């Protein structure tokens, strides 16, 4: 019988027998009992540390996991509402590493956009926007997509890519009695993501209605301190015609940057957009 009992003790020992205990001081929680526990051959004995610290760590890990889950649900909700077209398929794999930066302007644009993406949570906290202006085929959408991809992959945040024309159509459709969304909901869709990439500004007609839509869109995000990347083939002086003066002012607030893509088109040069 004694032999069986000793076998049981050694089995318990494998799964974590308390070998020793000591009173110690935790800088945060004061005195606690530290237990040295044997974990068998797989892992050597280890001290338990402060139990209150361990509890706090667990609570924090739960909170982080919960937050990630909430963000993921928000991202899914946006995707299911607009389809999976957050970033157009053509730009789905665009990154900073596959952007060709030959001249000084391209290198500078790449550096600003890469920094913006890497520090996005800090920029987002201040609602800091970006304006990418210049000719077609200079890589504006490429760099914006790279920012969007980085923000989604690295930070699990939501990014939505949309053209100005699509926004205007979506708002216009809300006036239709047969449409499922009303005007408020139409703007809410674009106000929700952590980052909105608004492409092809200035391709539309520059009517008063279109300026109003652009203002409502950028303003709702501005008030929520959420950044917007505006992409346009129009120059700095022309942009207010399509968005209104106030919109351009808001995009420049809190250190919002304007990047001019002033080089020639790279299309047909092995490099799209």
Q: How far apart are CA 233 and CA 52, in angstroms?
A: 58
Using the minimum distance from each CB to Zn ion, give the nearer residue, 12 or 61: 61
Q: How far apart are CA 127 and CA 226, in angstroms?
A: 5
Helix (H) or strand (E) holding 212: helix 208-223
State the nearest-atom distance from the C-beta of 50 to Zn ion, in Å.
3
Residues 7-26 that bind Zn ion (CB under 5 A): 26
| CA atoms 225, 126, 167, 69: torsion sign | negative
State the nearest-atom distance from the C-beta of 35 to Zn ion, in Å.
14
State the nearest-atom distance from the C-beta of 49 to Zn ion, in Å.
8
Q: How far apart are CA 103 and CA 85, in angstroms?
A: 31
Using the minimum distance from each CB to Zn ion, give the nearer residue, 53 or 112: 53
Distances (CA, A) of 120 to 49, 130, 235: 36, 11, 26
Residue with tokens 């939505």: 160
Using the minimum distance from each CB to Zn ion, give the nearer residue, 26 or 36: 26
Strands 257-261 and 130-134, by their bridges, are parallel
Using the minimum distance from each CB to Zn ion, give the nearer residue, 35 or 215: 35
Asked if 117 touches Zn ion (CB under 5 A), the answer is no
State the nearest-atom distance from the C-beta of 55 to Zn ion, in Å.
9
Tokens of 255: 């250190």
State the nearest-atom distance from the C-beta of 37 to Zn ion, in Å.
17
Using the minimum distance from each CB to Zn ion, give the nearer residue, 29 or 153: 29
Binding window for Zn ion (CB under 5 A); candidates: 35-43, 46-54, 171-179, 254-262: 46-54
Using the minimum distance from each CB to Zn ion, give the nearer residue, 36 or 74: 36
Asked if 52 touches Zn ion (CB under 5 A), the answer is yes
Q: How far apart are CA 258 and CA 244, in angstroms?
A: 16
Beta bridge partners of residue 66, listed in sequence order = none
Asked if 54 touches Zn ion (CB under 5 A), the answer is no
Residue with tokens 């607009």: 82
Asked if 28 touches Zn ion (CB under 5 A), the answer is yes
Asked if 180 touches Zn ion (CB under 5 A), the answer is no
Residues near Zn ion (CB under 5 A) are 26, 28-29, 50, 52-53
């Amino acid at each position: 019988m004694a032999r069986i009992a000793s076998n049981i003790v050694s089995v318990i020992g494998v799964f974590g027998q308390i070998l020793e205990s000591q009173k110690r001081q935790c800088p945060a929680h004061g005195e606690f009992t530290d237990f040295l526990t044997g974990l068998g051959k797989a892992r050597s004995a280890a001290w338990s540390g402060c139990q209150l610290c361990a509890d706090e760590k667990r609570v924090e890990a739960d909170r982080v996991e919960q937050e990630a889950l909430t963000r993921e649900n928000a991202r899914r909700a946006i995707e299911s509402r607009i389809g999976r077209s957050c970033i157009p398929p053509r730009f789905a794999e665009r990154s900073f590493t596959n952007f060709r930066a030959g001249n000084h302007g391209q290198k500078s644009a790449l550096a600003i956009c890469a920094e913006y993406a890497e520090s996005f949570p800090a920029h987002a906290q201040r609602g800091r926007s970006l304006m990418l202006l210049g000719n077609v085929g200079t890589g504006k959408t490429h760099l914006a997509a790279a920012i969007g991809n980085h923000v989604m992959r690295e930070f699990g945040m939501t990014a939505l890519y949309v053209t100005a024309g699509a926004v205007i159509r979506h708002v216009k459709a809300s006036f239709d009695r047969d449409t499922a969304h009303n005007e408020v909901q139409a703007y809410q869709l674009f106000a929700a993501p952590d980052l909105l990439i608004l492409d092809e500004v200035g391709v539309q007609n520059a009517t008063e209605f279109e300026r109003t839509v652009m203002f409502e869109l950028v303003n709702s995000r501005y008030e929520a301190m959420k950044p917007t990347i505006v992409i346009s083939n129009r120059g700095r002086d022309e942009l207010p015609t399509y968005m209104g003066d106030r919109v351009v002012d808001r995009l420049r607030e809190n250190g919002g940057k304007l990047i001019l893509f002033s080089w020639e088109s790279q299309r047909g040069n092995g490099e799209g957009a």
